[in-house]
Amino acid sequence: MMVKKRYLACTCLLASLLAAPAVGKEPRATKSPPKPVPRLGMNLSGPADWNTELAFVDVFRMSRPWVSQRKGSRWGQGPALDLDEHGWVKRLETGCWAETPLCTIPNGHYPAGDYTVLYEGEGKLDVWNAATVVSREPGRMVIRVDPARGGFFLRLMATNPANYVRNIRVIMPGFEKTYRQEPFHPVFLKRWQGVACLRFMDWMHTNGSKIRTWSERPKPEDATFSAKGVALEVMIDLANRLKADPWFCIPHLADDEFVRNFAQMVRERLDPDRKVYIEYSNEVWNGQFPQSRYAGEEGMKLGFGQKPWEAAWCYTAYRSVQIFTIWQRVFGGTGRLVRVLPSQAANPYVSERVLEFRDAFRQADALAIAPYISCNVSPRGTPGIDKV
């Protein structure tokens, strides 16, 4: 292999020398170099209030699910909250309130200034820690945020059960007029412009996902994406804007109807020039994850192995092919699909078992072996990226 690398290097150097113009002669016309084709894919960090990758100009999208508080009790020791299907608080008990932390990011790594809080319904919102109220009126509040003081908290102090506070948005400075049409922060879009593929494993909260049915999926109307993951509509929108191929990790508990509806929405909304990577869950071979234990149990029930981990490898292939088949029917073939079987980099034996089970390799296009590379982009790095 080393000899081959040296030979290729010498060949490239020789070619460049032969193409150089002779001294004293006019240079020959040369063709423009081919346009580079992006090959790098990227995992995006999952939605959370501490995530420094501020994808949305509405920071409430990344807020933590409501924390129940009771006067005189320890933090988070309030009564169970009465929530609607999207996670909005429908009523509060006397002496109680609900709150959520936002932008709990160290070193002030988020924008300072006046944030606009918009909401529907009747009630009272307040803030504390790194934010103070500048003005308030029904349905709208302006708060001044100082990131040097850490994150800030939005508190729901009162709500009318007949018209409870909902659809809360906390908009960064300068985006109130555009957040509906341009939900993604421009620096976030700039950072990942040009990547070939976006893997949405963490955006989908894949590891340990409890989603089984289509009705349980994350929706754009949800109070926060940190509870169940980012809505599919939003992931497709991002892929279209960045002209990147999406990589979806189907929840390990998802039924066939979920898979079918998921595939149909992708077919209907995704740019037809984009391919789609499909993977059954994430690292199903990894025993620390619930999806691995589930695959082992299901594989044992089906008689795929004598040991849970062996049965899990076989079930991974089995369920993956089932999912691929559903997508192929929805898309009318495999032309736009990249069917991914998951495996492990450190143990080729796992890959062999997954690939060979009922000839799964014949119905797949790629093997993902999970060697992750960290890519923490510094605002002061080279090339420079503007600070969010």
Residue 317: what residue type? A
What's the pLDDT score for residue 370?
Answer: 83
In this structure, the number of other CB atoms found within 10 A of the CB of residue 19 comes to 10
**How many helices and strands in the chain, by DSSP H and E?**
7, 16
Q: What is the rounded average pLDDT for all residues in the chain?
A: 89
pLDDT over threshold 80, residue 372: no
What's the pLDDT score for residue 29?
Answer: 53
**Whole-number Å distance between alpha carbons of 44 and 191:** 11
What's the pLDDT score for residue 140?
Answer: 98
- Encode pLDDT of 255-294 as tens digits: 999 999 999 999 999 999 999 999 999 999 999 999 999 9
What's the pLDDT score for residue 39?
Answer: 78
Beta bridge partners of 184: 56
Mean pLDDT of 133-145: 98
What's the pLDDT score for residue 9?
Answer: 28
HEC readout, 194-256: CCCEEECCCCCCCCCCCCCCHHHCCCCCCCCCCCCCCCHHHHHHHHHHHCCEEEEEECCCCCH
What the block records as the tokens of 132 is 């103070």
Mean pLDDT of 40-69: 95
What's the pLDDT score for residue 6?
Answer: 26
CATH class of 41-46+184-368: alpha beta
Q: Are strands 96-102 and 131-137 parallel, antiparallel or unpaired?
A: unpaired
Share of the chain above pLDDT 90, in %: 82
What's the pLDDT score for residue 319?
Answer: 98
- Dihedral through CA 261, CA 267, CA 269, CA 270, nearest 10? 130
What's the pLDDT score for residue 13?
Answer: 27
Q: How far is CA 204 from CA 51, 196, 294, in A?
A: 15, 19, 18
pLDDT over threshold 50, residue 89: yes
pLDDT over threshold 90, residue 31: no
**Whole-number Å distance between alpha carbons of 109 and 98:** 26
Exposure on the CB side of residue 56, measured as CA atoms within 13 A: 28
Inter-residue contact 43 to 283 (CB < 8 Å): no
- Encode pLDDT of 221-241 as tens digits: 999 999 999 999 999 999 999
Torsions phi, psi for 117 (to 5 deg): -105, 120
Please, which residues have CB within 8 angstroms of residue 18's CB and are 6 or more apart in sequence? none
Exposure on the CB side of residue 277, measured as CA atoms within 13 A: 25
pLDDT over threshold 90, residue 316: yes
- Encode pLDDT of 143-163 as tens digits: 999 999 999 999 999 999 999
Closest CA to 209 of 266, 169, 262: 262
Residue 315: what residue type? Y
pLDDT band at 103 (very low <50, low <70, confident <90, very high): very high
Closest CA to 213 of 262, 249, 279: 262
Domain boundaries along the sequence of the chain: 41-46+184-368, 59-171
pLDDT over threshold 80, residue 369: yes
First to last CA, the chain: 44
